[in-house]
A = this chain, B = another copy of it.
């Protein structure tokens, strides 16, 4: 159930002093091989953190030996000094593990603009603590070390009957909106797969999982989803089974991120059906997922379906505005441009909320995961930096 579930991986989670609380704040994961295949997807935000700039280059050859991740500072918009900090961090990992710094990925998360000399010193000293702490059961500590406002670590694993394993860890909580990747995620497998196969599987998986998690509409500057294969099982997987397993891990972690999003009291699943195209189904779901008014209504246990339609109407998807059905938790509250069943019968007190939008024009479907807009969200995000 962790990044060390698969054979050939060791990990550590240690306290580098980046978090004032003294909690774990640095994770290191090493691939012991025999393969070093890897692939990664990155935030599509054009304002990117230094670790993203570094890692985008390091992944190009498809070979990665280790990944180091820190919470407690994003090292984003910290200038040339911040980039050197990322570079030196990779160098430090390379030196301690006896690998090339060009085969080391770096991820950072925390406050943008954080990355001064003290931050660098702690990062480098942290690597010296983490490297000798690497163990085959270090996954859970690593998962804990990448948490920011997460209330608990997120991990998942799938074991194939064919003898290979995929494990993963994720952190999310805030700035959860897609741009390919949407959070820090590390997935490991002992299957014998090439970096090209990993890339195909990862992009296919993130497209329908992390890319469809839109908790608060805000896209991060630091997000990265990485997958690494050691090949240690010696098993070449069936590619369809492998892709399905990667998607399953990503879906599991995405749901865990949704379930622990900052301040959320409801997990809202927005399913758009019978759209003309999948992209249009995504657009419709995403528009609803970004309606503060609808999300605040759900927080208040109010099935305010008018706010769903008001959001759908802002899209350019094909539909007849007066022939859309909206169903909330199984109760069709709107059909044919008017109220249908009374919304009073909907019980929104459970955490899970299901919104079904039937566009009635085509055969495409997409599901977006989001959360409600709560007092706790406002509180956490008004008090985060200070």
Contacts and interface: CB of A to CB of B under 8 A. Distances in A.
A218 B336 contact: no
A334 interface: yes
B313 A47 contact: yes
A291 interface: yes
Nearest to A298: B382
Interface string A174-185: 110001000000
A296 B220 contact: no
Contact of A300 (B45, B337, B386): B386
A330 interface: no
Contacts of A381: 292-293, 296-297, 300, 373
A306 interface: yes
A81 to B, nearest CB: 7
A334 B219 CA distance: 19
A82 interface: yes
Interface string A80-111: 11100000000000000000000000000001
Interface residues of A, number: 64
Interface stretch (A25-33, A71-79, A240-248): A71-79
A218 B383 contact: no
Given A76-B306, A309-B77, A313-B45, A217 B339 contact: no
Given A217-B292, A310-B45, A381-B297, A77 B373 contact: no
Nearest to A380: B296
Contacts of A304: 111-112, 384-385
Interface in A304-328: 304-307, 309-315, 321, 324
Indicate how many identical chains form the complex. 2
B305 A113 contact: yes
Interface string A269-280: 000000000000
A375 B373 contact: no
A385 B306 CA distance: 10
A78 B81 CA distance: 60
Contacts of A179: 314
Given A78-B339, A299-B378, A291 B113 contact: no
Given A385-B302, A386-B302, A220 B297 contact: no
A297 B375 contact: no
A216 interface: yes
B221 A313 contact: yes
Contacts of A216: 292-293
Contacts of A383: 300, 302
B78 A217 contact: no
A365 to B, nearest CB: 21
A48 interface: yes
The residue among A111, A293, A339 with the most chain B CB atoms within 10 A of its own CB is A293
A379 to B, nearest CB: 7
Contact of A77 (B306, B311, B314): B306
Contact of A221 (B300, B306, B338): B306
A296 B382 contact: yes
Of listed A291, A296, A383, residue having the most chain B CB within 10 A: A296
26 contacts: A45-B314, A47-B324, A77-B309, A77-B334, A77-B337, A77-B339, A80-B338, A112-B304, A113-B338, A175-B310, A179-B314, A218-B310, A220-B310, A221-B309, A221-B313, A292-B292, A293-B381, A296-B380, A296-B382, A297-B385, A299-B382, A300-B381, A300-B384, A302-B383, A304-B384, A304-B385
The 7 tightest CB contacts between A and B, nearest first, are A112-B306, A300-B382, A47-B313, A79-B338, A296-B381, A45-B313, A46-B313
